[in-house]
Amino acid sequence: MKLVKQYVHLSLLLLLIAGCSANTADENETEQSGNAADTETLEESAPPGEVDQQNEEMKTEESDGSVQESDETEVEEGLSQYSAEQIEYARVWLQLGANQEIDELNVHHIPAGTPLNPKDETSGVYPEDVIQLAGSRLVDGSVTYSGNGDGTVNVYNVPLRWDGVYPVEDNEFYTKLIENTVQVYIETGDPEEVEKLIKLLEERV
């Protein structure tokens, strides 16, 4: 009799365990089906190929940016072979020169104390060392300046060639020229244009 009872109890226990396992399996199947449905819904909500297209556009933009940055870096590195003075001369002319289509860029160093107008014995003198840039022709114009070492220059309004009758009647003429110098900030400019002008430099003292 005891054996019969034990057998019955064991059978009921096995049936109970089997029922729990079946429920757990059904729940897992339902959850997996739900996840699959969610995934399908997300895939259906995005137009075919849109994600790939966006990724390709991002890659293209990054690639273009890298190429442009690389080109600019190479150009800047190209100027490293020149002296700071040569780069300054070219940048000053690029910004202030009257004619950019020049055959050569002449650099004339003028020491302090030199007369502004060599043709006039009453001329005032430069109070500091200056640099005069000019093309090979008179029509190219000229730029006479002194550097301040901070990216700015003092520009003197003096001609490349003095014409007229001297001495001048205005005793303050040369004083005004010196006092009316204009301070200008020199931009870095296009590195390629700067290098072209550097290659045209002809320096003399």
Q: Are residues 75 and 90 in the same domain?
A: no
- Please tell me whether residues 64 and 98 are part of one structural domain: no
The label of the residue with tokens 């060639």 reads 161
Predicted confidence (pLDDT) at residue 127 exceeds the cutoff of 60: yes
Q: Indicate the average pLDDT of the chain.
A: 79
* Residue 157 structural domain: 84-204
**Integer Cα distance of 90 and 110 in angstroms:** 18
Q: Final residue of a domain: which of 52, 79, 106?
A: 79
Whether residue 187 is found in the same domain as residue 107 = yes
Q: Give the number of domains in the chain.
A: 2
Does 36 have pLDDT greater than 50? Answer: no
Cα pseudo-dihedral 183, 169, 161, 119, rounded to 10: -120
Q: What is the C-alpha to C-alpha distance for residues 129 and 113, in angstroms, rounded to an integer? A: 8
Domain final residue pick, 48, 79, 110: 79
pLDDT digits (tens, 9 = 90+) for 158-177: 999 999 889 998 989 999 99
Joined together, the tokens standing for residue 204 give 């003399």
Per residue in 73-114, pLDDT (tens digit) is 544 677 999 999 999 999 999 999 999 999 999 999 999 999
pLDDT of residue 8: 47
Whether residue 50 sits in one domain with residue 96:
no
Q: How far apart are CA 78 and CA 54, in angstroms?
A: 36
Note whether 75 and 88 are same-domain residues. Answer: no
Residue ending a domain, among 25, 51, 79, is 79
Q: How far apart are CA 88 and CA 110, in angstroms?
A: 16
Q: Confirm if 147 and 112 have CB atoms less than 8 A apart.
A: no
Burial, 110: exposed, middle or buried (Cβ in 10 Å; 0-12, 13-18, 19+)? buried
Is 89 found in the same domain as 69? no
Residues 90 and 33 placed together within one structural domain of the fold: no
Contacts of 33 (CB under 8 A, 6+ apart): none
**% pLDDT > 90, the chain:** 58
Q: What is the pLDDT of residue 203?
A: 86
